[in-house]
Amino acid sequence: MEMSKNKSQNYVLHYASFFFFGSMSPNKPVENLSVLNKRVIIVFVLDSIKLSGDRCVNALKEYFRKLPRVLKETILLEILELMPLNSYSKWIANCIFEFCCSKFDVRSISPKFHEKFVTNLQNVYYLNLTGAQITEQTLRNSIKKSPSLRALIIPNLATDDVLKDIANLSNLELLNISGQMSISEKGLQYLKSESLRILTAGNCTKHILLNYERDDEILAKILHQLPNLTEIRQYDLTGKSFLKLKSPYVSKLKSICDCKTTVRQLEAIMSICPELEELSLEDPEQAAVELLNEFIKLKKLKITQFTHHETGLNLKLSKLTLETLELKYLSINFNAICLTLEELLIRSCMISTTSLLDVNFRNFRVIELIDSDVKKELILILFEQCNQLQRIVMSNDIGLNDQDIIKLCEKRKLQQLEEMWLSIARQLTSESVVMLMYHCDKLTLLGTLNGWNIEKIEVNYLRCVICLTNKNLNLLYFNCF
């Protein structure tokens, strides 16, 4: 143990000159004076509540009366978002700042205070009532008192009468009425809006909107009532619904998801959504996948294969100009995807290459490979080619060693790297940590070092150096392992 400690001390001292005199991870920014002042006010308010409870409300209300409304709201929002703080203290703070809250999320409040908080809300523009334990009348009153609402999230709370009140919100842009809805087809006639852009509806686990047998007709009707809708979230049988729309109907939709997609459904999506930029498919047919190259404006594509196929999907996406590609539970050949990609997110996939010589990606900013086997040679090629790489996440050990990292740093690669998550890298030691700290000027997060060949005492020494040099770098090492 003593030898290990001496070794670590000598090692850190050996590289100390790099940290003190070289350029490495970014410095921690000096906090703005206004931010510090705001923090002082919050501490003062919380200390007063702790000492006097609700007896301090009138005095503090008078003390802060001349404070600008914008500042009152900022302070109150920060207090409400403090998770360790109990809901009673948050309620007192709410009274002190006279309910100056244009944004409210009920998830930060204890259920027994939900009714109390929501009852006093007014003139909010963002309202999230996920899991709220309130009455329908309280919800309706809250909507009426906030005519300028822009975002309303009320899963499992929507009813016909609630939709009737929502119809009066002329500025509403985002509406979430997912989950178990008590809405009739007649009540859907109130779902009319020129301003609504994003709609989240349906039960994602059961692929149901209202009535499974007629959901496609219902969604088709809704689309006519929301002419400026650009995104449908959660409900994933949109392609089937599009078959009910009469030609030449064209929507403004830019983002949708679909399940068990057939060729007819994808052709309908292509015809009705000429401006489509984001598409999510679950268990699509092979013939449908082959049509994806026709979506010339598509920027983000997500494909998930839950149903087992003996041959699997044969993805050929080289003709697209995608920016983001997300794949789950399938096989992918790197030589068959487009070279314009900036983000690649892969979960539980088989990754292969026809030829490493033909791998030529330049635009990657984010690479996430979770539970997916990939060759080290491919990753090293990507590291060398992609000068804009900012985030790397890999859960499997691909055999990276210190020499690989040293060579990349000597070639001045990974200069834009901000986050590196390597869950298991048994051949990487503290030498790689030092090299990355010194050469990656923008690196702010490095881990998880539990899975590296590095001792905790070495991590602690490196953290001391980071602290002494005021660097904005977090070394992740979890004691639970």
pLDDT digit string (tens) for 193-228? Answer: 999 999 998 775 545 566 556 667 788 888 889 999
- pLDDT for 309 beyond 80: no
What are the C-alpha distances in Å from 355 to residues 204, 359, 377? 40, 7, 11
Q: How far is the C-alpha of 45 from the C-alpha of 401, rounded, in Å?
A: 52
Residue with tokens 């096989």: 331
Closest CA to 120 of 147, 102, 149, 99: 99
What is the structure's pLDDT at 211?
58
Between the CA atoms of 374, 377, 378 and 382, what dihedral angle is there, to the nearest 10 degrees?
A: 130
Percent of the chain with pLDDT over 70: 91
> What is the residue-averaged pLDDT of the chain?
88
Count other C-beta atoms under 10 Å from residue 422's C-beta: 21
Confidence of residue 21 (pLDDT cuts 50, 70, 90): very low
Q: How far is the C-alpha of 109 from the C-alpha of 32, rounded, in Å?
A: 29
* pLDDT tens-digit series, residues 408-435: 999 999 999 999 999 999 999 999 999 9
Q: Which two tokens stand for residue 12?
A: 């850190």
Ramachandran sector of residue 157 (left: φ over 0; alpha: ψ -120 to 50; beta: rest): alpha
Q: How far is the C-alpha of 283 from the C-alpha of 280, rounded, in Å?
A: 10
- pLDDT for 13 beyond 90: no
Confidence of residue 481 (pLDDT cuts 50, 70, 90): very low
- pLDDT for 332 beyond 70: yes
What are the C-alpha distances in Å from 258 to residues 73, 204, 262, 405, 416? 40, 11, 10, 42, 36
- pLDDT for 83 beyond 90: no
pTM for this model (two decimals): 0.86
Inter-residue contact 399 to 427 (CB < 8 Å): yes
Closest CA to 343 of 365, 316, 362, 322: 365
Confidence of residue 469 (pLDDT cuts 50, 70, 90): confident
Percent of the chain with pLDDT over 90: 65
Average pLDDT over residues 342-365: 91
Confidence of residue 164 (pLDDT cuts 50, 70, 90): very high
Average pLDDT over residues 178-207: 82
Higher per-residue confidence, 237 vs 81: 81
What are the C-alpha distances in Å from 328 to residues 53, 115, 307, 338? 51, 41, 11, 17
What is the structure's pLDDT at 193?
92
Average pLDDT over residues 134-143: 96
Closest CA to 312 of 302, 321, 303: 303
Q: Which two tokens stand for residue 321?
A: 């100009």
